[in-house]
Amino acid sequence: MRMATTLSVVVLAAGGIGHAVVTGLDTGITRVDPFKDMKNRPQAGNGMNVLLVGTDGRDRITPEERAKYRLGGAPCHCTDTVMIVHISEDRERASVVSLPRDSYAEMPEHTDLTTGRHHHAHPVKLNAAYAEGGPGLTVRTVESMTGVKIDHYLEVDFTSFMKTVDAVGGVQICTAKPMKDTYTGLDLPAGPHELDGGQALQYVRSRHVDGAADLGRMQRQQKFLAALIDRLTSGGVLLNPVRFREVATTALSSVRADQGFGTDQMLALSKAMRGFTPASSEFVSVPIGDMSFPVKGIGSTVKWDANKAQKLFESLREDRPLAPQPAAAKGPRPVDVGVAPKTIRVQVYNGTRTDGLGGRVDAALRASGFDTTREPRTGSGQERGRTLVEFDPRWDRSARSLAAALPGAELRPVPGQGGTLRVTVGADYKGVAAVRAREAQSGQFEAVRGDQVVCP
């Protein structure tokens, strides 16, 4: 996640930054040539694809910092984080796709940079591509796995990450429940937090907060990047040339990039992205088929869901949005829910003395996408003040999704009720709120927009 800083500061610049401000910034970048001698590359699609790689860079941090932020062990010179960042052709959207570092990968034929030995194509974990062949082999491996042509390469390490977060004045993260990880020293109570560079590093590196391990960490990295974009676009950094230069210089001080990524690219993108906000960014992790796919001699790897991953990268090549887009300004924006309304079976009861209300509520829920019985019934005879949703605890996610469509409704678990949810309409009924499933428009992979994950 350290690389996110460079991308946010330089690529997503939203202010009217002039050539004079940007000129010379790229002199701090160390240059690499990951595209040298590459053959049989994927066909270019629309938009621009940046391979963003985060390395551990432990050898560039002071002993005090290493102790404070629990960065033990020798530097591994490996990729801690790998992301494809797609900038749309119209420069109004950034799609961030996280690739698990332990992904099962078929490494192309190559020469090992450390031993000089020639290797035929063989299965590995994705982060081994960097260890064996540096940026060039990493780009080749990602291109062969995804079919997405990479236009630029950016690599950032721990050092740049911490310093850049401090340069923007920290970021705000909201946690729904306490987060503690003894491995990184992360210890956050529930609620909003202002994180400085070192705390932010702990946040994006933690893998032992919950059972989700690397996948949970990738979601936190995405959430962090959205928060960083929020701080940059709302904090005046992009509108103040002096401040922008200070932050950009810090971010680029320990960055490696391809020769083609320079002043002109930064300027074109910064001008194009005036008005960029968290809602302009979207985040997705590659869909997983098997979290622990065993490979002889390598151990447990993360195997992608081939069909869903193919649909995801197809959308990227065709420059299509991955996350559901905000509703048009005409009506209220639908509430995102975890379960698709069409899969939720609902029986409506009229718990009021208003004749025909049950039928109207059944029709409204059906119009919103719910699978209603179309046969509303009369309630127990006692008038209800508050609308009630009764559900079997096994269908709790469906119940929460239905309750989102009935603002103010009471949720009541009824063990053994089965898959049909019961709605008893109360006197407080004011109509059905629009809802939609929290899933990508393709229905193949889950993506979220940045404005859905930043602090409210």
Same domain, 399 and 365: yes
Closest CA to 30 of 165, 140, 151, 156: 156
State pLDDT tens for residues 432-450: 998 887 643 444 566 777 7
In a domain? residue 46: yes
Number of domains present in the structure of the chain = 2
State pLDDT tens for residues 187-204: 888 888 888 888 888 787
Same domain, 171 and 301: yes
Using alpha carbons only, give the angle 54, 283, 208 rounded to the nearest 5 degrees. Answer: 60
Same domain, 354 and 301: no
Taking the CA of residue 30 as centre, how many other CA atoms within 13 Å lie in the half-sphere pointing to its CB? 9
In a domain? residue 123: yes
Same domain, 83 and 141: yes
State pLDDT tens for residues 35-86: 988 888 999 888 889 898 887 654 556 667 656 655 555 444 556 788 898 9
Residue numbers of the domain that contains 399: 335-437
DSSP state of 93: -
In a domain? residue 330: no
Interatomic CA distance for residues 382 and 309, integer angstroms = 52
Same domain, 313 and 433: no
Token pair in block for residue 367: 């119009």
What CATH number has the domain bearing residue 229? 3.40.630.190
Instruction: Note if the pTM is more than 0.75.
Output: no
CB atoms within 10 A of CB 226: 28
The total number of residues shown for the chain amounts to 456
Contact 254, 174 (CB under 8 A): no
Contact 175, 223 (CB under 8 A): no
Same domain, 310 and 344: no
Same domain, 306 and 352: no
In a domain? residue 203: yes
Token pair in block for residue 235: 């904090």
Same domain, 150 and 38: yes
Same domain, 252 and 277: yes
- The full DSSP string for 386-424 is S-EEEE-GGGHHHHHHHHHHSTTPEEEE-TT--S-EEEE
Same domain, 372 and 299: no
Contact 46, 318 (CB under 8 A): yes
Interatomic CA distance for residues 183 and 452, integer angstroms = 29
In a domain? residue 130: yes
Same domain, 282 and 375: no
In a domain? residue 153: yes
State pLDDT tens for residues 250-283: 877 778 889 988 876 666 555 544 555 667 778 8
pLDDT of residue 277: 66
